[in-house]
Amino acid sequence: MLKRTLLMLGAIILVVAVLAFIKYRQISAIIAATKAAKPPPIAVASTNASEQVWQREFHAVGSIVAVKGVTVSNELAGTIRKIAFESGDRVKQGDLLVQLDIAPDEAQLRGLKAQAELARLDLQRAQDLRRNNTNAQSDLDAAQAQYDQAVAAVDSLAATIAKKVITAPFDGRLGIRQVDLGQYLAAGTPIVSLQALQPVYVNFTLPQQDIADLQIGQTVQVRVDTYDGENFPGTITAINSKVDDATRNIEVQATLPNPQERLKPGMFASVDVVLPRQDRFVTLPQAAVVYNPYGDAVYVIEKSAAAPDTLVARQRFVQLGETRGDQVAVLKGINPGDQIVTAGQLKLRNGAAVQINNSAQPSDNPAPRLPNT
């Protein structure tokens, strides 16, 4: 009985050992096959890093301002008797805009002129008598004072009448009329906007660290979204003498020719100040850069040392400079001609095999335009 039991136990142990050996061989084969297997190459897009010459520029935003611009208003109260312009008219300096009622003033002026004439005659008689020594010097002085007062009264009323004849203070383009014939105007009522539109100013600000490179006469290129893709050239004509102590920015003013009056005061403008210096940079599409908190990097495509026919991606940290549109300048980390991954970086790891597919490339335009513009 004991012998039979031992034989059965030995048989069981043998069967288990055989099964364990078979399983061990199977697992070892799977592990070996897994180690021998290589992942397929990852499809990526690539471009060659190129060196470009960038014209140094300062970028800012500003507003278009008229060289001369006012809202014409009346200095004295009165009722409108004549309107001599239409909305949007071009006017010359001195052109009549609005005539207020001056009939009572003109009547009063005639009376004052009569008094002035009488005072002139009295002064002339006093001068004749004084030459004959038949009156006192005080009589001549009194006559002279009365004449001067009469003339001053005439001049004062004439000035009042002139203020009720409202004219254009300078050449320019009128806006929309804000008053009507027969309307009573209190002093200071807005009548119409008048803007001199040739030329115009663009006012903008730059940070204080840019002051050293700013000079009167430098060229600017101005863009407004009204005329997409069009540049309006101008020159810097004024730099403020004081830096704003709150923002540490300095205000700059440039003058732009505006012969067709396409630029209007109040327009928002993008301004590029063109500097005389040029710089050479290695540039890449911004999409090629992997931005990380611990450093920005790109993937450089190289031939594998183990298999020269295989391409692999190597991560390389870079130092970036300024950007223009879709491009970024690389100051350190890559050289001109290096083949850089521009799409598919999220699937990569350092040393991963890659396959180049450039059927779709990210934009590399230094001055891109939005699709809806």
b or e along 315-349 (b: 16 or more beta carbons within 10 Å of the residue's beta carbon)? beebebeeebebbbbbeebbeeebbbbbbbbeebe
Is the same domain home to 286 and 239?
A: no
Q: What is the DSSP letter of 52?
A: E
Task: Tell me the C-alpha distance between 339 and 327, whole Å.
Answer: 16
Amino acid at 160: T
- Of 308, 212, 226, the closest CA to residue 260 belongs to 226
Within-domain flag for 20 = no
What stretch of H or E contains 224?
A: none
Within-domain flag for 72 = no
Within-domain flag for 168 = no
What pLDDT is recorded for position 369? 61
pLDDT in tens, 214-263: 889 988 999 998 888 788 999 999 999 999 999 999 999 999 999 888 99
**Range(s) of the domain holding residue 149:** 102-163
Is the same domain home to 201 and 213?
A: yes
Into how many domains does the chain fold?
A: 3
Long-range contact list for 29-36, CB < 8 A, 24+ apart? none
Is the same domain home to 336 and 346?
A: yes
> Which residues of the chain are modeled with pLDDT < 70?
1-2, 29, 32-38, 366-373
Within-domain flag for 297 = yes
Is the same domain home to 203 and 262?
A: yes
- Of 59, 41, 65, 61, the closest CA to residue 255 belongs to 65
CATH number at residue 143: 1.10.287
Is the same domain home to 329 and 269?
A: no
In sequence order, what E strands does 208-258 have?
Answer: 219-223, 232-243, 249-256
CB within 8 A of 328, min separation 6: which ones? 283, 284, 285, 286, 289, 320, 321, 322
Q: What is the DSSP string of 40-51?
A: PPEEEEEEE-EE
Is the same domain home to 134 and 156?
A: yes
CATH number at residue 223: 2.40.30.170
Asked whether the beta carbons of 277 and 218 are under 8 A apart, the reply is no
Is the same domain home to 218 and 289?
A: no
Give the relative orientation of helices 103-131 and 137-163 as an angle to the nearest 10 degrees. 160
| Cα radius of gyration rounded to whole Å, the chain | 44
Last residue of a domain, one of 227, 251, 278: 278
Within-domain flag for 309 = yes
Within-domain flag for 209 = yes
What pLDDT is recorded for position 373? 46
Residue with tokens 């008797």: 81
Task: Tell me the C-alpha distance between 192 and 183, whole Å.
Answer: 14
Task: Tell me the C-alpha distance between 65 and 337, whole Å.
Answer: 47
Task: Tell me the C-alpha distance between 255 and 268, whole Å.
Answer: 15
CATH number at residue 332: 2.40.420.20
Within-domain flag for 32 = no
What pLDDT is recorded for position 311? 83
Is the same domain home to 260 and 284?
A: no
Last residue of a domain, one of 252, 278, 304: 278
Task: Tell me the C-alpha distance between 371 and 223, whole Å.
Answer: 18
What pLDDT is recorded for position 372? 47
Is the same domain home to 212 and 264?
A: yes
Within-domain flag for 346 = yes
Q: Which residues pair with 340 in a beta bridge?
A: 47, 300
Phi-psi region of 94 (alpha: psi -120 to 50; beta: other; left: phi over 0): left
Last residue of a domain, one of 278, 301, 316: 278
What pLDDT is recorded for position 361? 78
| The two structure tokens encoding residue 128 | 């004749």
